[in-house]
Amino acid sequence: MAKDKKLVEAITSMDVDFAQWYTDVVKKAELMDYSSVKGCMVIKPAGYAIWENIQGELDRRFKETGVENVYMPMFIPESLLQKEKDHVDGFAPEVAWVTHGGLEPLQERLCVRPTSETLFCDFYSREIQSYRDLPKLYNQWCSVVRWEKTTRPFLRSREFLWQEGHTAHATAKEAEERTEQMLNLYANFCEEVLAMPVIRGQKTDKEKFAGAEATYTIEALMHDGKALQSGTSHNFGDGFAKAFEIQYSDKENKLSYVHQTSWGLSTRLIGGIIMVHGDDNGLVLPPKIAPVQVIIVPVQQQKEGVLDKALELKGMLSNFRVKVDDSDKSPGWKFSESEMRGIPIRVEIGPRDIEQNQAVLVRRDTHEKIMVSLDELDQQVRDLLDDIQKNMYEKAKNHRDEHTSEATDLATFTKTVEEKPGFVKAMWCGCQECEDQIKESTGATSRCIPFEQKTLSDTCICCGKPAVKMVYWGRAY
Amino acid sequence: MAKDKKLVEAITSMDVDFAQWYTDVVKKAELMDYSSVKGCMVIKPAGYAIWENIQGELDRRFKETGVENVYMPMFIPESLLQKEKDHVDGFAPEVAWVTHGGLEPLQERLCVRPTSETLFCDFYSREIQSYRDLPKLYNQWCSVVRWEKTTRPFLRSREFLWQEGHTAHATAKEAEERTEQMLNLYANFCEEVLAMPVIRGQKTDKEKFAGAEATYTIEALMHDGKALQSGTSHNFGDGFAKAFEIQYSDKENKLSYVHQTSWGLSTRLIGGIIMVHGDDNGLVLPPKIAPVQVIIVPVQQQKEGVLDKALELKGMLSNFRVKVDDSDKSPGWKFSESEMRGIPIRVEIGPRDIEQNQAVLVRRDTHEKIMVSLDELDQQVRDLLDDIQKNMYEKAKNHRDEHTSEATDLATFTKTVEEKPGFVKAMWCGCQECEDQIKESTGATSRCIPFEQKTLSDTCICCGKPAVKMVYWGRAY
């Protein structure tokens, strides 16, 4: 395959330096750029279009479950942030503070929202009076700010885009059901749309959200064997309701506190897509989320009829998101660029193909070339996109499974973390001391207590006391 | 018509106190709520759904003209804001300043974006090198902050949602064309989708955007005769390009500055929809933007078959955005509520209607009741929605025309502004002194120099010197 050297040589091989490979890909695939604001990024069209597709699909799934969108202020008065003690302890050290409005100092500092539980609670305390007002199933799409010390494009940024859902319910049971429902919604979305297999489970107390009774998580495994927390769903019980006085009167006119949840998923997931599917030629996008699913590259486009034919093919593929690359770059450069950008299918069409009423389809995931008759183009592309989507999921799942180990003693555990990066399943006694010690000695954190449990041994790998749960451990982003 | 007293009595009549009527409607129609953050609001589901429809329709129209979406940081370093002198003079007095990140003071203050010209310019200065990189046609959907002293829901808020487009072009001509193209896109959108007639024209130098060579505007007239600037499009020439060193090399390798535009439209427009179309029963939404186009209200819903029939009608109307109000409120309350929320068509269906295979359609705009056979329901609703959309535009246009006057001397002008609120067309010499004096003595500002000119007289109504342009004047929000 003709390939322009310059573009490919610009990427570090992922086996040589995965972190550098990642940085190269986000830049060369034109997903983002650094900005003049330290720790914040510019999301460029190719990156933002992925986010728009994530938004569109998730938003549709949210609304099917009765969720409505709202918009809350981006500022939180300091006194409001402080109302729930665990919450403020968790977030205060990493927020940005607005101290002046125009030329005047503010009477009370405002933080730029790191998350909006406090704003929603404040709103709900006025909005909810009766059982008729429940449930409240609100979500917002917005940006949030966390003043991180070290940042990486998409994965950890001082400002990022996300959605945050905040619900209020009459009963603890309903809140628990919603928490699980949204986690499953996230998991299904990741697996079906992003072709990214995830482990569903609960966070340990140490790792749960500041102010939550329980945090559920989906954990994905990246190509380098590190885990990525990809979405979380929190059950707050009535903790926030008590701090913010959110009560409703039931049918018997009795006052009760509401039970709340929140759940969020962010542009971090774009980093996940890159690190699960990418290769040494660049990005590989699952067809369902790819802003461009098919790129048509005319070969010898200056010859009469070639560009016209390319445009005709575009018309034949109107069921898909298609672009024709009619720029004045060389075909080799265009091939290389379409790979860098992760476009699932490339259609190559030149004078000889036109004569024979055919075109060459090239799969981004396997590099396989398929000669197809133009009469069957639409159907072939449809089948191929389906197959690519399935294949990418299978490949990622195989990789995940191959990089998931079990350990029943600390020596094996430590060796595995070091020598075979990935998830390590191991039994745990349930105490934070062991969790801390494992992290300190191996760098692996508890990723989750999976819903699907299995007893690997009877004792905690760390302290040897009776085990209560099997936990997924791993180094993580 | 049975109507629940409580809901209607909650609204002040618009003729008694228009400002209070507006505040009552935004609250009772549940479009927004005040928040604990002074000057910022909570946009509730009914309000946000209007914004989502505005976004969807505008975004589609933008993309048809080649525009791509991106996301820039929400912060601007102080030194960056200061790069273009007119721009910083215009915005610095009304921005919010972040001075601390986490527990540490920042080395340089960051303002929360009041608009993002400086960020886009900074980005373009790195992104644009060659003529091949042009044009850049970028847009972002985001929130911006301006530290206003007095605020009103949707119309003037310390934080508001908007889109801001920022383009860079090789030539002055292209930039001018894009500036006009986007203004026309806004105007067509307002007229076709929001049923809101607008005057297209240019702002005077005094009223133009800080840093622009020319600002174009669309101006709508509210029910109370005050104007609302509803969208603006700016041609920056190469002013920002020179301040930020944004140059490209052309085909002959010669360096030139780019020419830029920006254009924005905000949630302010929701205030415009309310004030153009609303009445003493509440909101009146144009069908094309209404989140719910048809509400089905079952009458005697406890009777067997009524609720089932209501749901059956919903199924028959699957081409539209339909809701069934099956709450346990009284029909009278539901009627009243559907009017307050501005839903274009209400379908009433009770046992007697079911017997006769019919339903009652009630138009929100005229209150007309129409008996229709269920066999024709879909077609009747379609026709009625079209008719409501047209009628609302015509009504608004007639109102606008009836409240547009001409004046050829200052005494008449002043009397008209005072006694017949609306637009006043009058000739102007082109100097800011006259503009200032007119504003000071009448409260009317120059709304725009309309593209469609007409010579009303030869002299400026203020100073009597030769006139150069006809201007629309008026008091404004």
pLDDT in tens, A449-474: 999 999 999 999 999 999 999 999 99
CB-based contact A127 B33, cutoff 8 Å: yes
Q: Are B26 and B14 in contact (CB under 8 A)?
A: no
Query: Could you give the strand order of the β-sheet that contains A68-69, starting from the edge strand earlier in sequence?
Result: A68-69, A136-145, A159-169, A259-266, A227-237, A214-221, A199-202, A445-450, A469-474, A423-428, A404-406
Q: Are B358 and B376 in contact (CB under 8 A)?
A: no
- Rounded to the nearest 10 degrees, the angle between the axes of helix A306-316 and helix A377-402 is 70
CA–CA distance, A175 with A169 (Å, rounded to integer): 6
What sign results for the dihedral spanned by CA atoms B154, B159, B161, B164? positive
Class in CATH terms, A404-474:
alpha beta
- Give, rounded to a whole angstrom, the gap between the first and last alpha carbons of chain A: 35
> How confident is the model at residue B86, as a pLDDT?
85
CB-based contact B122 A52, cutoff 8 Å: no
Q: Specify the pairing of strand B136-145 against strand B68-69.
A: parallel
- Whether B122 and chain A come into contact, CB under 8 Å, resolves to yes
**Of residues B70, B102, B127, nearest to A95 (C-beta):** B102
CA–CA distance, A115 with A142 (Å, rounded to integer): 10
Outline where A278-330 has alpha helix (H). 306-316
Q: Judging by beta carbons within 10 Å of its beta carbon (0-12, 13-18, 19+), is residue B113 exposed, middle or buried?
A: buried
CA–CA distance, A294 with A314 (Å, rounded to integer): 9
**Of residues A35, A101, A158, nearest to B147 (C-beta):** A101
- Whether B52 and chain A come into contact, CB under 8 Å, resolves to yes
Measured at the CA of B405, the angle between CA B404 and CA B409, to 5 degrees, comes to 150
CB-based contact B69 A52, cutoff 8 Å: yes
CB-based contact B40 A96, cutoff 8 Å: no
Residue B94: closest C-alpha in chain A: A102
pLDDT in tens, B69-117: 999 999 999 999 999 888 888 888 899 999 999 889 999 999 999 999 9
pLDDT in tens, B257-300: 999 999 999 999 999 999 999 999 999 999 999 999 999 999 99
CB-based contact A96 B100, cutoff 8 Å: yes
Specify whether the backbone of B326 is left (phi greater than 0), alpha (psi in -120 to 50) or beta.
alpha
Specify whether the backbone of B163 is left (phi greater than 0), alpha (psi in -120 to 50) or beta.
beta
- Whether B96 and chain A come into contact, CB under 8 Å, resolves to yes
Outline where A4-44 has alpha helix (H). 5-9, 18-28
CB-based contact A127 B98, cutoff 8 Å: no
**Of residues A43, A71, A73, nearest to B48 (C-beta):** A71
Percent with pLDDT over 90 in chain B: 95
Tokens of B188: 């067509």
| DSSP-assigned beta bridge partners for residue B219 | B199, B229
The domain A12-277 is classified under which CATH number: 3.90.320.10, 3.30.930.10, 3.40.50.300, 2.40.40.20? 3.30.930.10
Specify whether the backbone of A305 is left (phi greater than 0), alpha (psi in -120 to 50) or beta.
left
Measured at the CA of B70, the angle between CA A164 and CA A161, to 5 degrees, comes to 15
Percent with pLDDT over 70 in chain B: 98
What three-state secondary structure class fits B356? coil
What three-state secondary structure class fits A61? helix
**Of residues B42, B70, B147, nearest to A45 (C-beta):** B70
Residue where the block lists tokens 């036109």: A354
Residue B139: closest C-alpha in chain A: A45
Long-range (24+ apart) CB contacts under 8 A made by B411-416 are: B413/B438, B413/B442, B413/B444, B413/B461, B413/B473, B414/B441, B414/B442
Average pLDDT score, chain B: 96
**Chain A residues within 8 A of B37 when measuring between CB atoms:** 73, 75-77, 110, 119
The confidence band for B1, taking pLDDT boundaries of 50, 70 and 90, is: very low
CA–CA distance, B110 with B112 (Å, rounded to integer): 7
- Rounded to the nearest 10 degrees, the angle between the axes of helix A410-419 and helix A432-442 is 40
Q: B321 vs B139, B290, B317, B416, CA distance in Å?
A: 28, 8, 8, 43
Percent with pLDDT over 90 in chain A: 95
CA–CA distance, A108 with A115 (Å, rounded to integer): 19
Segments of chain A assigned to CATH 3.40.50.800? 294-387
How close B170 comes to chain A (CA, Å)? Answer: 18
How close B212 comes to chain A (CA, Å)? Answer: 22
The Cβ of residue B17 has, within 10 Å, a number of other Cβ atoms equal to 12
Q: Are A365 and A285 in contact (CB under 8 A)?
A: no
- Whether A40 and chain B come into contact, CB under 8 Å, resolves to yes
How close A314 comes to chain B (CA, Å)? Answer: 16
How close A453 comes to chain B (CA, Å)? Answer: 39
- Whether B110 and chain A come into contact, CB under 8 Å, resolves to yes
B160: CB partners within 8 A, 6+ apart: B143, B144, B154, B266, B267, B268
Q: What is the dihedral of CA B147, B151, B155, B156, to 10 degrees?
A: -10
Q: Are A308 and A316 in contact (CB under 8 A)?
A: no
How close B126 comes to chain A (CA, Å)? Answer: 10
Q: Are B273 and B299 in contact (CB under 8 A)?
A: no
What three-state secondary structure class fits A193? coil
Residue A250 is given by DSSP the state -
pLDDT in tens, B11-30: 999 999 999 999 999 999 99
CA–CA distance, A337 with A7 (Å, rounded to integer): 7
Residue where the block lists tokens 């800011």: B432
CB-based contact B112 A94, cutoff 8 Å: no
Query: In B367-422, at which residue ranges do the beta strands (DSSP E only) sit?
Result: 369-373, 404-406
Please give the CATH topology (third level) of the domain spanning B16-277: BirA Bifunctional Protein; domain 2 (3.30.930)
Residue where the block lists tokens 């913010």: A244
**Of residues A33, A80, A112, nearest to B98 (C-beta):** A112
b/e map A149-172, b = 16+ CB within 10 Å? eebbbbbbbbbbbbbbbbbbbbee
CB-based contact B123 A73, cutoff 8 Å: no
Segments of chain B assigned to CATH 3.30.930.10? 16-277
- Whether B99 and chain A come into contact, CB under 8 Å, resolves to yes
CB-based contact B36 A72, cutoff 8 Å: no
B335: CB partners within 8 A, 6+ apart: B1, B2, B3, B4, B297, B346, B348, B362
Nearest 5°: phi and psi at B190?
A: -60, -45
Residue B122: closest C-alpha in chain A: A36
Q: Enumerate helices (H) and strands (E) in chain B, giving the number of each.
A: 15, 23
Segments of chain A assigned to CATH 3.30.930.10? 12-277
Mean pLDDT of B151-174: 97
What three-state secondary structure class fits B411? helix
Please give the CATH topology (third level) of the domain spanning A294-387: Rossmann fold (3.40.50)
Task: Give the best residue of B59, B68, B74 to mutate against chain A (max A CB count within 10 A).
Answer: B74
From chain B residues 58-87, the ones with a CB under 8 A of any chain A CB are 68-77, 80
CB-based contact B99 A100, cutoff 8 Å: yes
CB-based contact B159 A49, cutoff 8 Å: no
**Chain B residues within 8 A of A117 when measuring between CB atoms:** none
How close B47 comes to chain A (CA, Å)? Answer: 8
**Chain A residues within 8 A of B153 when measuring between CB atoms:** none
Task: Give the best residue of B30, B35, B123 to mutate against chain A (max A CB count within 10 A).
Answer: B35
Tokens of A237: 């019980």
Segments of chain B assigned to CATH 3.30.110.30? 404-474
ipTM of the complex: 0.95
pLDDT in tens, B171-228: 999 999 999 999 999 999 999 999 999 999 999 999 999 899 999 999 999 999 999 9
Residue A59: closest C-alpha in chain B: B52
How close B423 comes to chain A (CA, Å)? Answer: 33
pLDDT tens digits in sequence order for chain A, 477 residues long: 344 455 556 799 999 999 999 999 999 999 999 999 999 999 999 999 999 999 999 999 999 999 999 999 999 999 999 998 888 888 888 999 999 998 899 999 999 999 999 999 999 999 999 999 999 999 999 999 999 999 999 999 999 999 999 999 999 999 999 999 999 999 999 999 999 999 999 999 999 998 999 999 999 999 999 999 999 999 999 999 999 999 999 999 999 999 999 999 999 999 999 999 999 999 999 999 999 999 999 999 999 999 999 999 999 999 999 999 999 899 999 999 999 999 999 999 999 999 999 999 999 999 999 999 999 999 999 999 999 999 999 999 999 999 999 999 999 999 999 999 999 999 999 999 999 999 999 999 999 999 999 999 999 999 999 999 999 999 999
**Chain B residues within 8 A of A123 when measuring between CB atoms:** 33, 35, 42
- Whether A43 and chain B come into contact, CB under 8 Å, resolves to yes
Specify whether the backbone of A301 is left (phi greater than 0), alpha (psi in -120 to 50) or beta.
alpha
Residue where the block lists tokens 């597709």: A53
**Of residues B37, B68, B138, nearest to A75 (C-beta):** B37
